[in-house]
Chains A and B, each alone.
Chain A
């Protein structure tokens, strides 16, 4: 069974360029999350979707960041224009349950391998 698939695994770009990160969640999972990991700030939730609908984007740093989930099997995180401080590892994760815990389930997240972004 395939896990969460992210691409690209590594991206090096120059300041000002557009960056698009891609994620394919585990089939049948209803929730998708984008996290960012840096040495300074650790793991931070950027945005999450339930049934393809963005629920909470309060963690998105600024308007340069945007995320979409056009269907249940694909999501993108876009940075335009990119800046050196955006350099980080971006993780996508999925979960088999949506909404609240009252529907059962553990709330466990399954993470992809991450996309390491370097902005020069």
Chain B
């Protein structure tokens, strides 16, 4: 059974600081996804990582994938309040589209 674990589960950051969210998964997969969810809202796709060594950046967020270590990271640079949300990583557990296993989510709060 594929398991996906994120840490930390709760992250309280000051504006301007840097931090990293980690996502470990238990079986081989070349595809990893990061989503953002605001309270009471839908899941918004942030990044799709499709191969070992993939790195993608959007604004203050950068995601990377190491398939050998079964690890993805989401790095936050110079956090701002607007980044406050829950971040999920998800892994495709095989060859079929969309059959994603999600991590528990990391609740990020950025405060002044």
Contact = CB atoms under 8 A, between A and B. Distances in A.
Nearest to B102: A43
A98 interface: yes
B42 A31 contact: no
A102 interface: yes
Contacts of A110: 45
Given A42-B104, A43-B88, A106-B50, A98 B97 contact: yes
Contacts of A114: 42
Contact of A113 (B42, B95, B100): B42
User: Which of under 10, 10 to 19, 20 to 34, or 35 or more describes the interface residues of A?
Assistant: 20 to 34
A107 B45 contact: no
B101 to A, nearest CB: 8
Interface in A75-101: 91, 93, 95, 97-101
Contact of B98 (A93, A112, A113): A93
Nearest to A3: B42
Nearest to A92: B42
Contacts of B48: 106-108
Nearest to B4: A42
Interface string B11-39: 00000000000000000000101010000
A107 B104 contact: no
Interface of A: 31, 33, 42-43, 45, 48, 50, 55-56, 91, 93, 95, 97-102, 105-114
13 contacts: A43-B90, A45-B99, A56-B99, A91-B42, A93-B43, A99-B96, A101-B92, A106-B48, A106-B50, A107-B97, A107-B98, A107-B100, A114-B42
